């Protein structure tokens, strides 16, 4: 038994009811002495529109064509009967088909065709009693009132379901967008960080190849480590893209305060000195999202040193806590000199993403020249931690 079996059973049951109702219309027209072929044509067009298998519909058979043509056929049948002043039958089969097409039009047709096709089907259903009750106003009014109630109920239900579909699609699109933004942040924060390090150390290795060949092993080891970390980060990110399970988000590349020490230890080049100044008052049990954001701030600031201030010799990372807020500051004494290619300078997305991440936690991020110094740059972030 497949998961589609209940739906297939319902579809088969509805199809059977429609065909039986259409048969009642034809039988009634034949027994009453009316010409059967106009009724048969209208019913055939409507049943074809409803029962044509979805997998076999050609591209030109759009929802608006599918719902509009049967309604026009029914209206023409009614108009012909009224103009010729000849009674013609209407029955439950045609009414059920028009109501079904009304439902499809309101729920499935694109705007503004949903309104146009919905009005056509509603008008066709309301007008169909005029074929038989042309000279009986009370009978015509009674059947039209019943049809009006049915049209309102079906159109209202279809409109409600269309609104639910719209809200669901909006929620899905918002979720997809947030996931794309998160993955883009991972790629930027982790992979770009490591790749920039590889690029800088490769340039250094080329310079040292002729001047200090005996020190190349240390630089090459740094390149190997950065490449390994970049591959690991990429593998984790690709794993998240492939895995749709509930625990996929937990395997995204993240960092914490302890990871900042590893980050600073593996950052400096032979001509740079990186100092990590962590206040003992900084607790180890800060909220995970605060620790991850602090790690990203330090990572982005160090990456920007490589991109924009490769001449910096002193880089300081400070972590402090005043009981209510965590302060993260990264300073350097660079003058803005860099030898990286223009394509490696970045597009400014890092600080934009950091600002969004920090402000989402109720914090504040500032980046600018180092206060009180002619040279240098500082990135400073404040995070509320909720601790008294």
When pLDDT is cut at 50, 70 and 90, the band that residue 299 belongs to is confident
Query: Is residue 267 a part of any domain in this protein?
Result: yes
- Please say if the pLDDT value at position 105 is more than 90: yes
Q: Of 135, 152, 174, at which residue does a domain stop?
A: 135
Judged against a pLDDT cut of 60, whether residue 344 lies above it is answered with no
3-state secondary structure (DSSP) of residue 322: coil
Residue 145 lies inside a defined structural domain of this protein: no
Pairwise CA distance, residues 164 & 177, whole Å: 20
146 lies in some domain: no
Residues 100/51, Cβ–Cβ less than 8 Å = no
Domain assignment present for 324 = yes
pLDDT at residue 31 in the model:
83
pLDDT of residue 191: 63
Helices and strands of the chain, counted as H and E runs? 11, 5
Of 120, 135, 150, the residue that ends a domain is 135
Determine, yes or no, domain membership for 293: yes
Tell me: pLDDT of 14 over 50. Answer: yes
- For the chain, how many structural domains are there in total? 2
Is the entire prediction scored with pTM above 0.75? no
Question: Is 83 among the domain residues?
Answer: yes
Answer whether 114's CB lies under 8 Å from 105's CB: yes
Give the tens place of pLDDT for each residue, 23-72: 888 888 888 788 889 889 999 999 999 888 888 888 899 999 999 999 99
Torsion of CA 310, 314, 317, 322, to 10 degrees: -140
Of the candidates 312, 319, 235, 303, the one whose C-alpha atom is nearest the C-alpha of residue 266 is: 303
Query: 237 in a domain, yes or no?
Result: no
User: How many angstroms separate the CA atoms of 332 and 313, rounded?
Assistant: 8
CATH code of the domain covering residue 331? 3.30.565.10
Q: Are 173 and 118 in contact (CB under 8 A)?
A: no
- Residues of the chain above pLDDT 70, percent: 77
The yes-or-no verdict on residue 99 having pLDDT over 70 is yes
Q: Across the chain, what does the average pLDDT equal?
A: 81
pLDDT tens digits for 168-196? 888 888 877 776 766 666 666 666 666 66
Residue 207 pLDDT exceeds 90: no
Q: Is residue 82 part of a domain?
A: yes
Among 135, 161, 181, the domain boundary falls at 135
Other C-beta atoms within 10 Å of 112: how many? 9
CA quadruple 200, 206, 210, 212: dihedral sign = positive
Strand partners, 381: 328, 365
What residue numbers bound the domain in which 90 lies?
5-135
Per-residue pLDDT at 109: 92
More confident: 112 or 196: 112
């Amino acid at each position: 038994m497949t998961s589609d079996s209940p739906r297939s059973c319902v579809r088969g049951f509805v199809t059977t009811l429609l065909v039986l109702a259409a048969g009642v219309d034809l039988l009634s027209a034949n027994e009453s002495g009316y010409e059967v072929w106009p009724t048969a044509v209208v019913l055939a067009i409507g049943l074809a529109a409803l029962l044509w298998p979805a997998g076999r519909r050609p591209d030109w058979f759009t929802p608006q064509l599918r719902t509009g043509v049967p309604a026009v056929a029914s209206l023409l049948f009614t108009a012909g009967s009224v103009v010729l002043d000849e009674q013609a039958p209407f029955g439950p089969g045609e009414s059920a088909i028009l109501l079904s097409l009304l439902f499809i039009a309101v729920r499935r047709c694109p705007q503004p065709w949903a309104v146009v096709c919905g009005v056509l089907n509603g008008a066709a259903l309301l007008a169909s009693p005029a074929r038989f009750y042309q000279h009986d106003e009370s009978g015509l009014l009674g059947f039209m009132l019943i049809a009006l109630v049915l049209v309102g109920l079906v159109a209202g239900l279809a409109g409600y379901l269309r609104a639910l579909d719209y809200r669901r699609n909006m929620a899905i699109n918002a979720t997809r967008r947030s996931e794309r933004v998160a993955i883009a942040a991972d790629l930027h924060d982790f992979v770009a960080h490591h790749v920039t390090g590889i690029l800088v150390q490769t340039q250094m290795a080329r310079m040292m190849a002729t001047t200090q060949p005996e020190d190349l092993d240390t630089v090459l080891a740094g390149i190997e480590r950065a490449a390994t970390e970049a591959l690991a980060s990429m593998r984790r990110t690709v794993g998240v893209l492939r895995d749709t399970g509930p625990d996929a988000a937990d395997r995204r590349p993240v960092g914490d305060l302890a990871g900042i020490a590893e980050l600073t230890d593996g950052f400096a080049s032979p001509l740079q000195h990186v100092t990590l100044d962590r206040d003992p008052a900084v607790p180890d049990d800060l909220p995970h999202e605060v620790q991850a954001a602090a790690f990203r701030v330090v990572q982005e600031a160090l990456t920007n040193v490589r991109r924009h201030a490769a001449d910096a010799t002193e880089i300081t990372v400070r972590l402090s806590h005043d009981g209510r807020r965590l302060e993260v500051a990264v300073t350097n004494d660079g003058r803005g000199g860099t030898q990286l290619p223009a394509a490696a300078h970045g597009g400014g997305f890092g600080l934009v993403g950091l600002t969004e991440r920090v402000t989402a936690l109720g914090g504040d991020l500032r980046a600018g020249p180092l206060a009180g110094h002619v040279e240098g740059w500082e990135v400073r972030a404040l995070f509320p931690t909720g601790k008294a």
